[in-house]
Structure 1
């Protein structure tokens, strides 16, 4: 029931993950579906920074607690105003999808999806920074609105823009600045106070180099793992000079499966580069660190860095030679074993013969009953 639905588009996730480390955010990921599906018509997931804290859908019609502190499924105590706002989002998204379907002649039966990311950010001192929404229709970017206390901007996607009159623009600016932003900031600060042990924690990254032999050289990977929050700066140096990002692969911050994060950057180092014996340094900057964390690795060229590929004919020849050697060794071992067994049998026969001879010689000197030999 509380699983984040598959329909969230990547642009939403990218936007929420790009928030600065000196801010905290509260976002509602909302989905409206028209058509027959096993999902609720409307659902919304509430995220405090990158932690899911609440859930709402049109079937249960209430905001319940998910994750964090407290009882799972209990009422999320943000007041009835939060439910009214979610219902209003439900209504506006339904109207927006109908407008989009009419404008672009989406009259065919089937499933159509309207998505929205809406929420706010506050600074570390709790002051509101901005509030925004961003809409998508059937997986494509539609339009967005942002109000950051001094500027109010509206942008439409390519070919998806819906013209706003000056009156409508003023109406939304007053709505967002006087109602939505103050409420969102209050809710965010309340949740931050309740979940401070979770979202305000600082977990130091563990950084190390991983090297793997490959054809023609080696792959060098700088890995930082088990850190929180997710904002991190990872730089790979070659002899104190930053490696060009075009030479690197990776770099995306990924969840670690335990509430923490990981990131890696990899570099292919050729045999020629290994011969130069460069010094590589992984430099990490993170909120949990007072200073930069540096881990170094020096390239050492040796035969162990090379991987030779044997051709098929050469491989068959080598296998045949090994088989002949194995057969020869087996026959030699069997011959030695048979020779040893024959020697042991001859030795046993000789011992028995010597015993019998000794018995005959002794019997000549045994006295008879009369005491005569």
Structure 2
């Protein structure tokens, strides 16, 4: 646990100080007088200097955050000038099974609770409650600014509608099927693309892809894929892909009916493809053999004619010579 204190106003104490605790043992102290971290016990770690530097960087970041927040909290709580104390307790835990637990932070201003944050590391879940933040005013101001800039720039904003395709790809190593929803050629880059199974969103841990990637023409694309098991194919679920984009008046919805697919046909199609490939290969090899035989036969015919011609000439010479004598 880190116990941090930031003091608004002049006092004989440091403006900012932190005490670091390991369970109930104080192990480190830091303040804004020296801007340094000091161990309260002897440390034999060879990384002691690095630990002090790292701790100093973290605590200085906490100091900046608490200093900025103190100004907002003081204004929100309508406190007058004078001495005020902003306190923060931050801690993390390691469970008995050596797994990380929660990271928690509590804030108080002049003894009044003003905020709490709980972060569950394993679930990646954050819960925040800030009593000092003027949410209504912040929401109103933000919306007004956003609307004003949209009105100024809406005629200059480029909008390109996405082209959408639903693709299927039988996996050759099994009876499974991969379906993919591809949206491409859209601008601006923000798009909301969701895969549904029987009307319910598919869990993110079952989906691959989802990154927004640039195209060469300045537009963007996004692809989300899902592998469907052989059992799911037999059950005949219905899948659809929906997307929302700034260029669309209504959301796009494309449906893919798995019940139209025969799981056995994937393996049959692969077998047919292999047989066709083998037949084509046999035809090519046969054609090459026939061509070579014809080439060889042609060479033999030429050689045979040459031998005949030479033999005939020799016989003619002998007959001519006999008649002359």
Range of TM-score over shorter length: 0.3 to 0.5
Q: TM-score, normalised by structure 2?
A: 0.43
